[in-house]
Structure formats: structure tokens, C-alpha cells
Amino acid sequence: MPKAERTVTVGSSVGLHARPASLFVQAVGATGHSVTITKPSGDSADGASILSVLALAVGHGEELVLAVDGDNAESVADELATMLTSDLDAS
């Protein structure tokens, strides 16, 4: 199965909490791909699980590794990476 990874810096002013986390999880679910986000500490979360993403406690400006498995993984990774680097709380 094709796999793609991107290293991103979280752009949302509140990090991946509440609204930004919800928008990200919804976008992951819509792709149908297996998505994992991992902090430099090695802690990771299933991108399709709101509880996992919130529990990761990702703050503004933190770096994450976004891993996507599945067909078209490269384009899905690009879309999700762009989303993570945006200020999702401002939209």
C-alpha cells in the first residue's frame, strides 16, 4: 500500500484543540485513508479519532509527522499537510 509522510508545523493559534481538531478529523475521515500524526516525542494519534487527536495535546507551532497510507497517499498527504499548517481556528 502506498505511503506518504510530511513534516508540518501546526498553524492554528490554539493548536489541535476543539474546532481545529474536529475539522482535521472530519477531513481525515472523508479521505478513507489511514492517517497517523506523530509528535517528535514519539507520541502518536489516529487522525480519524477525535479523542486520540485531542489527547495528543498538540500546541501552536509544534511540529508533527503526518503519515498517510492508501491510494493517492501523496495528494492526500499534501491536502492534510496544508490544512494542518493553516489557522483552522480563524476560518
Q: Supply the pLDDT for residue 91.
A: 57
The residue type found at 31 is T
In a domain, 15, yes or no: yes
State phi, psi for 33 to the nearest 5 degrees. -95, 160
Report which secondary-structure segment, H or E, holds 19: helix 18-31
6, 17, 39, 60: the catalytic one is: 17
Q: Does a structural domain hold residue 90?
A: no
Specify the number of domains making up the chain: 1
- 17: annotated active-site residue: yes
Task: Write the CATH number for 29.
Answer: 3.30.1340.10
Residues 8-57 have pLDDT tens digits of 999 999 999 999 999 999 999 999 999 999 999 999 999 999 999 999 99
Task: Answer yes or no: is pLDDT of 82 > 70.
Answer: yes
Q: Which domain holds residue 77?
A: 3-85
Helices (H), 1-91: 18-31, 50-55, 73-85
Q: Is position 91 within any domain? A: no
Identify the residue whose cell numbers are 479519532: 49
Contact 16, 54 (CB under 8 A): yes
Count of residues making up the chain: 91
